[in-house]
């Protein structure tokens, strides 16, 4: 049964985010104030970040995420976050006032060294 749930979660994320699209095209990491602003039904707006952050929820592994993103744990939920090597990659879908930083300070679902785009917390 557990593998059936894993398979179903992978299919839902892949179908909703769109097979073949990368994180920027899927708007992962885009700023938002509500999930409707993420412009993709598979994305959830995480308002704990300054400017919000659109992330695909319910991933179980990196393979569940679009290209240029990995599965990380934020709070009690897993989300696909945009990967990066430097800050410039993080802000295609963000304003200057709400820029994200490229950081390795995240809980990854799978082991690895990939950095992800993370805006400051909304309390900062």
Q: pLDDT digits over 16-41, tens only? A: 444 447 999 999 999 999 999 998 88
Asked if residue 94 belongs to a domain, the reply is: yes
Beta-carbon contacts of 91 under 8 Å, excluding residues fewer than 6 positions away, are: 99, 100, 117
Expressed as residue numbers, the domain containing 13 is 2-118
Number of domains in the chain: 1
Q: Answer whether 53's CB lies under 8 Å from 32's CB.
A: yes
Asked if residue 124 belongs to a domain, the reply is: no
Q: How far apart are the first and last CA of the chain?
A: 42
Asked if residue 114 belongs to a domain, the reply is: yes
* Positions of the chain with pLDDT lower than 70, given as ranges: 1-20, 124
């Amino acid at each position: 049964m557990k593998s059936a749930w894993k398979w179903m979660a992978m299919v839902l994320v892949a179908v909703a985010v769109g097979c073949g699209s990368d994180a920027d095209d899927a708007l992962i990491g885009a700023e938002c104030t509500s999930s409707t602003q993420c412009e993709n039904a598979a994305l959830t707006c995480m308002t704990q970040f300054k400017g919000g952050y659109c992330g695909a929820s319910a991933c179980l592994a990196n393979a569940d995420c679009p290209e240029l993103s990995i599965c990380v744990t934020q709070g009690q939920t897993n989300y696909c976050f945009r990967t990066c090597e430097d800050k410039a990659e993080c802000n295609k879908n963000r304003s200057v006032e709400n820029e994200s930083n490229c950081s390795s300070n995240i809980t990854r679902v799978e082991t690895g060294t990939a950095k992800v785009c993370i805006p400051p917390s909304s309390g900062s």
